[in-house]
Amino acid sequence: MIERPLTRGYHRRVSPENESNSGEFQFNVGVIGATGYIGAPYRAEIREATGARIVALCARRRDLLDQAGEEDGAGLLTDNWREVVSHQDVNFVIVATPDALHHEAVMACAEAGKHLLCEKPVGVNASEAYEMWSAYRDAGLAHYVPFWTRFCAPFVRARELLESGLLGEIRGVVYRWHNPRPDDMPLTWRDDAGLSAAGSIADVGSHAYDTLRWLLGCEAMRVQAHADTITPARADLGAINLTEALGQSGSQSGAPRSKGTTFDYASVAWEFDDGAVATLVLSHTPFFRKGIAPELELHGAKASLGLDRVSGNLTLAKPGEPAEIINTVPDNGFGNRFAKYVFPSLRQALAGEETDHPDLKDGWRVQLFTDAAARSARSGHWETLE
């Protein structure tokens, strides 16, 4: 079953000082977590987008923050996120901090009337995610959660084929999401169970599950998972971000070593509410690599479809017929995501127009799944989505 999204309940809140010369809404941006692996490329895209300017930046390390301030021309540089939220010129806040630090900042943004982009997973659990969505829904503010796979060309084409009825009713799904990291890469906050919602289950698992609910229009009912930390102990260099860690692979002789405390591998089975079944394999380990098998398999009553984002190819298999290759664009990045997707979608929402961009409600629905998968990994039993 594929359901079209309903119109979101946003209300336009535009005053003259928030309009650009073209009459469009002007995004005056504050970034919390401005210098990390996520925040830095987001800022680069915003600098190149029209109708937006970066006003305030928050980060914990002054050296990186000063450099970011020079790049962006931001008027406020701070290590206190509350100063970004309370800044009178900021009307749009990006929360790109570790998972455990999202909830308090997002709730403060809702109270202050700021539109929002919050990284996924949006909270450390579904309860936090629901509170955040409720606050934004009730305040009538625009909100965005960056589930980027919805905009990847092979997946867009796959959705078109599904909607055409070519595959028939989907009865089985196999999904492999491998995001390998070098085995000698130092630890980051993503390896710390005190900061990460659920390791690979929440990090890449959230992307994978959102992709399937977007493609198929259905939700998981119950899950069973096995998960573990299978990467050997690695160097602990303290508070470094993922960009720095990737750049320091192989250069930490003599540094203390320890094993991460979050899941870096998981296999998850689940049942959809329409009776279909799915298997998902997730990893950040160096042992599982992309490109040797289709990332996604969709098996329907009429045909099956394999999807490989590395090559951009879709493989269509019908009973008794040779497989057909359908070419799309390989996943070489999304270009300027803020100019192409975020700002146009939020402008539509602020104008009261229908939009199907991913938001905090999607973040909450996804976290129901990742919470259940993490519970199952710990209990060893089937767990129902609560």
Q: Are strands 383-384 and 265-272 parallel, antiparallel or unpaired?
A: unpaired
Q: Is 60 helix (H, G, I), strand (E, B) or coil?
A: coil
The tens digit of pLDDT for each residue in 102-155 reads 999 999 999 999 999 999 999 999 999 999 999 999 999 999 999 999 999 999
**Cα gap 62→183, rounded to integer Å:** 29
pTM, two decimals, is 0.91
Give 300's DSSP letter: E
The tens digit of pLDDT for each residue in 43-96 reads 999 999 999 999 999 999 999 999 999 999 999 999 999 999 999 999 999 999
Q: Are strands 296-300 and 220-228 parallel, antiparallel or unpaired?
A: unpaired
Residue 300: pLDDT above 50? yes
Predicted local confidence at residue 5, as pLDDT: 33
Given pLDDT bands bounded at 50, 70 and 90, which one contains residue 340? very high
| 273-295 residues labelled b (16+ CB within 10 A) or e (exposed) | eeebebebbbbbbbebeeeeebb
Phi then psi dihedrals of residue 384, to 5 deg: -90, 140
The terminus-to-terminus CA distance of the chain in angstroms comes to 22
Residue of 301 and 9 predicted with greater confidence? 301
Q: Are strands 76-78 and 52-58 parallel, antiparallel or unpaired?
A: parallel
Residue 356: pLDDT above 60? yes
Share of the chain above pLDDT 90, in %: 77
Pair 80, 87: CB distance under 8 Å = no
Q: Are strands 257-258 and 265-272 parallel, antiparallel or unpaired?
A: unpaired
**Cα gap 331→329, rounded to integer Å:** 6
Share of the chain above pLDDT 70, in %: 94
Residue 234: pLDDT above 60? yes
**Cα gap 87→94, rounded to integer Å:** 13
- From residue 192, alpha-carbon distances to 22, 64, 200, 313 in Å are 46, 22, 12, 36
Predicted local confidence at residue 243, as pLDDT: 86
Residue 337: pLDDT above 90? yes
**Cα gap 101→33, rounded to integer Å:** 10
**Cα gap 316→161, rounded to integer Å:** 10
- pLDDT, mean over the chain: 91
Residue 14: pLDDT above 60? no
Question: What H or E segment, with its residue span, contains residue 133?
Answer: helix 126-139
Residue 280: pLDDT above 50? yes
**Cα gap 271→224, rounded to integer Å:** 9
